[in-house]
Structure 1
Amino acid sequence: MKKILGILLFILMGAIVLSKEVLYVGTNAEFAPFEYMENGEIIGFDIDLINKIGEKIGKEIKIKNIAFDGLLPALQTNKIDLIIAGMTVTKEREKFVNFSNDYFVANQVIIVPENEGTIINMDSLKNKKVGVVLGYTGDLIISKIQGVNKVQYNSAPSSIMALKGGNIDAMILDSVPAQSYVAKNKGLKIIEIDSEVEKYAIAAEKNNENLIKKVNKALEEIKAEGIYDELIIKHFN
């Protein structure tokens, strides 16, 4: 009986979300060029993409800016309906959310001062202070390397400032935002490393398959119609 009630509850929750005229979407606007603040407005590739998806499924999209490590709790407590935040699909996250098909592929890199010559790969990070953003993939990767002094920050800009100020020796970040931050901050460079390919996807509440099916269908149409390629050119040149 409890199992049946649980299934009915999941179906009901999915139906409630689909019946809403507005979908609240959580992001973390410190991950340029995917999502970032400009003139008081949240913009970026992810924001344009989710708005196009909203048009396809007939929903108004309202963006909520939330700390990255607060996105999953916000989804689980129904404060938001979806997450789009350059979020990597992982087995651990799949325990708590239902992911869409991936919409972007990335990898990790190391950011160091321009005059740094001893850090050349992940192994050379041992005995170094390495900045990561709480909850990001870099945070998870560094945790597996022994001998690294991991320093967690709430945002990528905070970690970048710490690196420029000499408070840390290096920083781990996704490749595309890393390129954006290095381009805007003189005196930094990127070290390419061997890392697993990561897939970014949109997250919905666990077992909300109906909403994810609609998101996936919209993604397919957006790619087939060339809209996705237009957004890539717009945001990544």
Structure 2
Amino acid sequence: MRRLAFGLGALVLGLTLAGCGTGSSTSSSSGQSGQAQPVTLHVGADTTFPPFETEKNGQVTGFDIDLIKAIAQKENMQIDLKTMDFQGLIPALQTGDIDVAVAGITITDDRKKSVNFSDPYYHSGLSILVKKDNTTINGPDDLTGKTVAVKLGTTADLMFSKKPGVNVKRFTNISDAYSELQNGGADAVVFDNPVNLNYIRTGHDNVKIVGPLLTGEDYGIAVRKNAPDLLQKINDGLKQVMADGTYDKLYQQYFGDEPNGKIKH
């Protein structure tokens, strides 16, 4: 009887302790200090968009990468970074494989049907890049009858796929489009102006930008649908890094004194 009573007592004590336990650890649980543990933010990035995203020696760097890391730090989130092709980012958001995507993604009404966007963080536009010795292309009207290299799935691709009289070559990597221009397989590259400028700055002084910007575009951080709390966190974090000087420091680091793309705050 004493052994039975002891066994029943141990069982009751075990159940009581189990009921008082914290359970399995989750990304939003509190640590020993009482502070909330960082939430894991699954971020998708296309690393072929320098200086916003690039990969060197297995390390992913760039303006967008540092910006999302700064936002995550402000909002007590830690980053889980996944790299993928640009055209795979929005499908990955739709399936929930990632929570947000950064890749110099232009905010468009069509994309808003599939994902949400943060407040704008960079103002951009498309520009035309040609060889320096090219005298026949001086603006968009001169592209008729020419071969234009673009990156697959970008706003340049969408624009020129509907433009009659232009032969469009599509590449998954913008560096391949630039190579096509260099080897004579394309007459021009149409792509985001800051990336074209970066290409010129990084040792390619045999090319030039001609004509005005073809578009005025704002970049935003793409956020999966049905996640209003996450969207609010991203926007709150973005406001904080803009207010405390972090944004300005990153802008100076990656773009120097170029004023065109900076979002005023």
What TM-score, normalized to structure 1? 0.89
Match of 2:121 in 1: 103
Identity over aligned residues, as a percent? 38
Any idea what SS the aligned residue of 1:73 has?
helix
- Aligned equivalents of 1:93, 1:35: Cα separation in 2: 20
| Distance 1:124-1:58 versus aligned 2 partners, 3 A rule | same
Structure 1 residue ranges (4+ consecutive) displaced by more than 4 angstroms after TM superposition:
16-20
Please show how residues 161-176 of structure 1 align to structure 2 within 5 Å. Answer: 161-176=179-194
Matching of residue 201 in structure 1 with residue 220 in structure 2:
yes
- Aligned equivalents of 1:196, 1:115: Cα separation in 2: 25
Match of 2:42 in 1: 24
Please show how residues 6-21 of structure 1 align to structure 2 within 5 Å. Answer: 21=39
Any idea what SS the aligned residue of 2:184 has?
coil
Match of 1:73 in 2: 91
| Distance 1:18-1:178 versus aligned 2 partners, 3 A rule | farther
Distance apart, 1:186 and its partner CA: 3.6
Any idea what SS the aligned residue of 1:140 has?
helix
| Distance 1:54-1:119 versus aligned 2 partners, 3 A rule | same
Please show how residues 1-237 of structure 1 align to structure 2 within 5 Å. Answer: 21-184=39-202, 185-237=204-256
Distance apart, 1:146 and its partner CA: 1.3
Any idea what SS the aligned residue of 2:253 has?
helix
Q: Which has the larger radius of gyration?
A: 2
| Distance 1:194-1:45 versus aligned 2 partners, 3 A rule | closer
State the Cα RMSD in Å: 1.6
Deviating more after overlay: 176-185 vs 51-60: 176-185
Query: CA-to-partner distance for each residue in 1:143-176, whole Å, 9 max, x for gaps?
Result: 2321101110011101001110111111101111
- Aligned equivalents of 1:212, 1:65: Cα separation in 2: 21
Distance apart, 1:196 and its partner CA: 2.6
Structure 1 stretches lacking a partner, 5+ long? 1-15
8 Å contact from structure 1 (residues 17, 211) kept in 2: no
Any idea what SS the aligned residue of 2:199 has?
helix
- Aligned equivalents of 1:106, 1:228: Cα separation in 2: 16
- Aligned equivalents of 2:237, 2:224: Cα separation in 1: 18
Any idea what SS the aligned residue of 1:163 has?
helix
Any idea what SS the aligned residue of 1:112 has?
strand
Structure 2 stretches lacking a partner, 5+ long? 1-25, 30-37, 257-265
Alignment coverage as a number of residue pairs: 222
Distance apart, 1:75 and its partner CA: 1.0
